[in-house]
Amino acid sequence: MTVRALAVTVSTRAAGGVYEDRSGPLLAELLREWGCQVDGPRVIPDGTAVLTVLKQAVEDRYDVVVTSGGTGLTPTDQTPEMTKAVLEREVPGIAEAIRQRGSVATAILSRGLAGTAGGTLIVNLPGSTGGVREGMAVLGPVLSHAISQINGGDHPRPPAPPRD
């Protein structure tokens, strides 16, 4: 199964050309390493642009959209609010595991969400390259199973033992 993925960098400064996006290219590379067909990274400012991109991605039937950035505590960090407006069902275990995986104390300050809208899994990662690496270390191993379940797949079952 080929997983169609969209990588999105949420950074008002990177979108404005103040600095180069480093987390988005890394995110796209890691998604490819997990076997995804990747579009992006798309670099957008925080705020309503996030809502627009997520709604369009669901309409375009991406299997997964992973955002990087906009999950902190500053007044301009609005990615979780924009994501929540799109989600139909939350998958809190993914977001919790990403925060727990963080190797820096400030990882617990991320307000990133994970959940589904239509047939699309949406996951918010922190904006740092370390946060992207750690987040993908959590998401990567469960990604194909999550996509399978979203599309009606069942849990994998071990083969039945032979009968005498």
Identify the pLDDT of residue 157.
65
Strand partners, 121: 64, 116
Q: Characterise 24 by phi-psi region: left (phi > 0), alpha (psi -120 to 50), beta (else).
A: alpha
**Residue 100 confidence (pLDDT):** 95
- pTM summary value: 0.93
- 103-149 pLDDT, tens digit per residue, is 899 999 999 999 999 999 999 999 999 999 999 999 999 999 999 99
101/82 Cα distance (integer angstroms): 24
* Unique residue bearing structure tokens 């670099």: 43
Q: How many CA atoms lie within 13 A of 143 on its CB side?
A: 26
pLDDT band of 162, cuts 50, 70, 90: confident
